[in-house]
């Protein structure tokens, strides 16, 4: 592990206090969770777990589960936030899913992270845990030939506790609404393109994580205000312990050392990508719904930008866009890294 800067004791105590506050808050907010199907007794030592909060994502669920089951995930722990489209019923019928339901405020639960921090604490300790949204699909070097267990075994051997994955926005060529997405379909049959560059990166000195912005959302929705564009840095895969907590989505955690997922001395650490399938035909209706609900960060300012920008049915494709081939292409572009994982 890299040698961390020795911070003044008052800063370390402040972060420790914040971590304890986050855990306490999560346990309090978890009282709003009602178990629908609790199959956590089936979890075995060494199982890789997925944690997710969702609402009205029935159309996405078949491919989401197919993707992560193929990678070797053994159990899914899901919070359904008052879905009305049949998501809860579909999830309850899956033998590898434990499901909780709540009608509580997504915003007041820190956008679902309080609920997930509580479940991670109770069920994730000692496991490699992958915390993702239903439109995020993890890929990593050799994911096409090696299961996720091979990656986590390698991380364990190197005493590495967390693994980063840049959020890579994928999009179609042409209008979103002209290419309807159907349930069970591979979203990347439609959203096959991405920005190979157009990213900024800086370091958050307080927490140690990198902050990445840009991509198609940066140029399409936040060109005049790039500093308020969405963050693309994620640390979704963590060997969890009861004393850990996510601070802001999966962008950063406490303890601070979990955020040092890069080499501070000029080398490379292994990293992946979360292929982000937000920009499908379903996004137009979804953005309108979320704008009305105002349950997202900063009073849903991001969704205001989306809703405004979608009025002209934009085409995110440009001459610099790249069509996704495989993880080696992403490695060549510097968006993914094998590090020392041969």
- pLDDT tens digits for 188-199? 999 999 999 999
Mean pLDDT of 240-268: 94
Q: What percent of the chain has pLDDT over 70?
A: 91
* φ/ψ of residue 69, rounded to 5: -65, -40
pLDDT at 288: 67
**Alpha-carbon gap, residue 131 to 314, rounded angstroms:** 30
Q: 287: pLDDT confidence band, cut at 50, 70 and 90?
A: confident
**150-164, 267-281, 291-305: least confident range:** 291-305
Q: 3: pLDDT confidence band, cut at 50, 70 and 90?
A: very low
The answer on pLDDT for 49 being more than 80 is: yes
Tell me the two tokens of residue 149: 């267990």
- Is residue 147 domain-resident? yes
- Is residue 312 domain-resident? yes
Q: Which residues pair with 169 in a beta bridge?
A: 276
Q: What percent of the chain has pLDDT over 90?
A: 80
* Upper half-sphere CA count for residue 210 (Cβ side, 13 Å): 20
**Alpha-carbon gap, residue 251 to 235, rounded angstroms:** 6
pLDDT at 285: 77
Plot region of 214 (φ>0 → left; ψ -120 to 50 → alpha; else → beta) = left
The answer on pLDDT for 185 being more than 80 is: yes
**2-11, 202-211, 255-264: least confident range:** 2-11
**Alpha-carbon gap, residue 282 to 256, rounded angstroms:** 37
Mean pLDDT of 163-172: 98
- Is residue 2 domain-resident? no
**Alpha-carbon gap, residue 293 to 107, rounded angstroms:** 10
Structural domain count of the chain: 1
Note the pLDDT tens digit of each residue in 53-88. Answer: 999 999 999 999 999 999 999 999 999 999 999 999
Mean pLDDT of 262-289: 88
Q: 264: pLDDT confidence band, cut at 50, 70 and 90?
A: confident
**Alpha-carbon gap, residue 39 to 156, rounded angstroms:** 26
* Upper half-sphere CA count for residue 69 (Cβ side, 13 Å): 10
The answer on pLDDT for 240 being more than 70 is: yes
- Is residue 109 domain-resident? yes
pLDDT at 333: 97
Closest CA to 198 of 152, 232, 246: 232
Contact 218, 203 (CB under 8 A): no
The answer on pLDDT for 6 being more than 90 is: no
The answer on pLDDT for 311 being more than 70 is: no
Tell me the two tokens of residue 227: 């500093």
DSSP string for residues in 34-72:
EEEE--GGG--TT--EEEEEESS-TTTHHHHHHHHHHHT
Task: Report the 10 Å Cβ neighbour count for 1.
Answer: 9
Q: 290: pLDDT confidence band, cut at 50, 70 and 90?
A: low
**Alpha-carbon gap, residue 47 to 292, rounded angstroms:** 39
Contact 322, 196 (CB under 8 A): yes
Mean pLDDT of 148-155: 98
Element (H, E) at 138: strand 136-139
Task: Report the 10 Å Cβ neighbour count for 10.
Answer: 8
The answer on pLDDT for 284 being more than 60 is: yes
- CA separation (Å) from 202 to 162, 164, 226, 231, 299? 19, 15, 13, 11, 25
pLDDT at 82: 96
Mean pLDDT of 239-243: 98
- Is residue 338 domain-resident? no
Q: What is the DSSP letter of 245?
A: E
Mean pLDDT of 323-327: 98
pLDDT at 2: 45
- Is residue 239 domain-resident? yes
The answer on pLDDT for 4 being more than 60 is: no
- Is residue 269 domain-resident? yes
Closest CA to 298 of 235, 246, 233, 231: 231
**Location of structure tokens 């035909």:** 281
pLDDT at 267: 82
**Location of structure tokens 């994620």:** 234
pLDDT averaged over every residue in the chain = 92
Length of the chain: 342
| Structural domain harbouring 23 | 9-332
- Is residue 104 domain-resident? yes
Q: Dihedral sign for Cα 170, 58, 132, 23, please.
A: positive
pLDDT at 266: 76
Judge if pTM exceeds 0.85: yes
């Amino acid at each position: 592990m890299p040698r961390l800067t020795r911070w003044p004791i008052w800063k370390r105590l402040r972060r420790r206090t914040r971590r304890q506050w986050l855990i306490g808050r999560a346990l309090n907010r978890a009282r709003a969770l009602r178990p629908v199907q609790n199959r956590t007794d089936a979890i075995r030592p060494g199982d890789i777990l997925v944690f997710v909060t969702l609402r009205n994502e029935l159309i996405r669920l078949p491919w989401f589960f197919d993707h992560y089951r193929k990678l070797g995930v053994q159990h899914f722990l899901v919070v359904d936030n008052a879905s009305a489209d049949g998501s809860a019923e579909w999830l309850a019928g899956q033998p590898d899913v434990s499901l909780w339901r709540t009608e509580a405020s997504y915003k007041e639960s820190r956008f679902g992270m309080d609920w997930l921090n509580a479940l991670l604490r109770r069920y994730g300790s000692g496991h490699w845990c992958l915390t993702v949204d239903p439109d995020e699909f993890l890929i990593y070097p050799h994911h096409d030939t090696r299961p996720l267990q091979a990656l986590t075994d390698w991380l364990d051997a190197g005493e590495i506790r967390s693994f980063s994955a840049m959020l890579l926005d994928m999009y179609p060529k042409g209008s979103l609404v002209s290419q309807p997405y159907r349930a069970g379909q591979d979203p990347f049959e439609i959203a096959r393109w991405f920005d190979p560059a157009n990213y900024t990166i800086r370091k958050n000195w307080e927490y140690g994580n990198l902050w990445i912005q840009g991509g198609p959302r940066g140029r399409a929705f936040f060109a005049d205000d790039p500093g308020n564009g969405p963050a693309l840095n994620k640390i979704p895969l963590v060997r969890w312990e009861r004393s850990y907590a996510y601070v802001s989505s999966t962008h950063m955690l406490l303890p601070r050392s979990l955020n040092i997922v890069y080499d501070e001395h000029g080398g490379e650490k292994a990293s992946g990508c979360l292929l982000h399938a937000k920009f499908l035909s379903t996004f137009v209706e979804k953005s309108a719904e979320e704008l009305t609900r105002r349950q997202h960060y900063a009073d849903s300012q991001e969704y205001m930008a989306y809703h405004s920008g979608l009025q002209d049915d934009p085409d995110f494709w440009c001459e610099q866009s790249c069509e996704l081939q495989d993880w080696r292409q992403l490695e060549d572009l510097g968006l993914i890294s094998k590090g020392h994982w041969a």
